[in-house]
Amino acid sequence: MKSHEKLLLENKAWAEERKRHKPEFFEKLAHGQQPEFLWIGCADSRVPADIIVNAEPGLIFAHRNIANQVVATDLNCLSVVQYAVQVLKVKHIIVCGHYNCGGVKAALSRQRSDFTLLNKWLLHVKDVYRLHRDELDAINCVDAKTNRLVEFNVIEQANNLAFSSIVQNAWRSEQRPMIHGWVYALDDGLLKQLITLGPESALDPIYRWDDEPVEQAH
């Protein structure tokens, strides 16, 4: 049996088991979604959002990319954020990185000629490294340096969310969502909270959005 055929069989078995335990399960899901959380995580196959927090389908709206980044020019990610915040009305956004992240580790190296697109994406992680160069360069162990950059990157991406007009408008009008920066440990399966931001969080004024009308000069 080929690997993709096994996935189809596993899906059938999963669906049948669900219907046995909860006959109305799929009918309820088909009527719509009201997730409480938006999860922005790494694309790494070892960090599936629903599984590591033992969540039922329908609780988490998810977006994943390499190194769990929130980039101001990434229309894919920002479209997910806008839909989650403005339409689904999520109460929490979780940015979740993980230790021993391959993307973050690659960002600590020079750019590779065969990574034509990946180089561009990892430039954003390199920017995070540059902001914390002194502390990171003082760490001699490559794994420890990678893991510290993983933490800095999660914090930076959580802040990037807070800097967005999408989040700031929701904070001003509806006092939500809360933003959480977490990191996942592959070796024990546990999550660690690094940062929490909300409507009352202090932001540098340079990142605040000003919707007040500008007076015209006469």
Contact 149, 100 (CB under 8 A): no
Total residue count of the chain as it appears in this document: 218
| Residue tagged active-site, from 63, 96, 101, 124 | 101
| Residue tagged active-site, from 46, 112, 133, 208 | 46
What is the distance between the terminal CA atoms of the chain, rounded to a whole angstrom? 77
What tokens does 153 get? 């990157």
Phi/psi for 123 (5° steps) reads -55, -30
DSSP strand pairing (92-98 vs 178-184): parallel
Specify whether 188 is catalytic.
no
What angle (nearest 5°) sits at the alpha carbon of residue 159, between those of residues 157 and 163? 115
Specify whether 46 is catalytic.
yes
| Residue tagged active-site, from 42, 96, 124, 148 | 42
- Which residues have C-beta within 8 Å of that of residue 159, sequence separation ≥ 6? 195, 197
Specify whether 130 is catalytic.
no
CB atoms within 10 A of CB 71: 15
The C-alpha atoms of residue 2 and residue 12 are separated, in whole angstroms, by 16
The C-alpha atoms of residue 44 and residue 53 are separated, in whole angstroms, by 16
| Residue tagged active-site, from 63, 77, 96, 98 | 98
Active site residues: 42, 44, 46, 98, 101
